[in-house]
A = this chain, B = another copy of it.
Amino acid sequence: MKNYMSILKENGLKATFQRMHILEVIGMYGHKDVDEIYAEVIKTHPSISLATVYKNILIMTQNGVLIELPLIGRKAKYEIKKDSHVHLICKECGNIEDEDFNLVDMNSLKEVLSDKKFAYFNQELNIYGTCSHCSSIKVS
């Protein structure tokens, strides 16, 4: 909890219990959407309102605490900000696994960007497919 408090303050946000609970849940599971976060937070903090979850996810995303991860055919999930990495997204169960590699050829990318005079902010590389768990279910 201590940890999330400082992340919030470093990013210029007040450290409320609600925010820390939300971060706790996201940190615990890695990637969660709004409803999942709400369902989980309400267990330990029953008085929180869904509107507060929405408001906080928005402000924490805007202030660099969270990263929004928009998904094909699903509600966006959120993760705690960290260096860019790859997402392996299962089309069957929706589970997301992080891979802490940079698989993007940054030199070629830089060429493209300077060519287009496009000011880079960040990137996201998502791989969609079927996770090992769902593959084994389909076989059996």
Contacts and interface: CB of A to CB of B under 8 A. Distances in A.
Interface in A31-81: 61, 68, 70-73, 76
A116 interface: yes
* Majority SS at the chain A contact face: strand
Say which size band chain A's interface belongs to.
Answer: 35 or more
Contact of A129 (B121, B128, B131): B121
Contacts of A109: 86, 103, 127
A120 interface: yes
A73 B78 CA distance: 12
Interface in A80-105: 86, 88, 90-91, 97, 99, 101, 103-105
Nearest to A127: B123
Chain copies in complex: 2
A132 interface: yes
Contacts of A130: 118-119, 121
A9 interface: no
Contact of A70 (B70, B101, B103, B120): B70
A15 interface: no
Given A91-B121, A118-B88, A132-B118, A113 B127 contact: yes
7 contacts: A61-B73, A97-B118, A103-B108, A104-B104, A118-B132, A120-B127, A123-B128
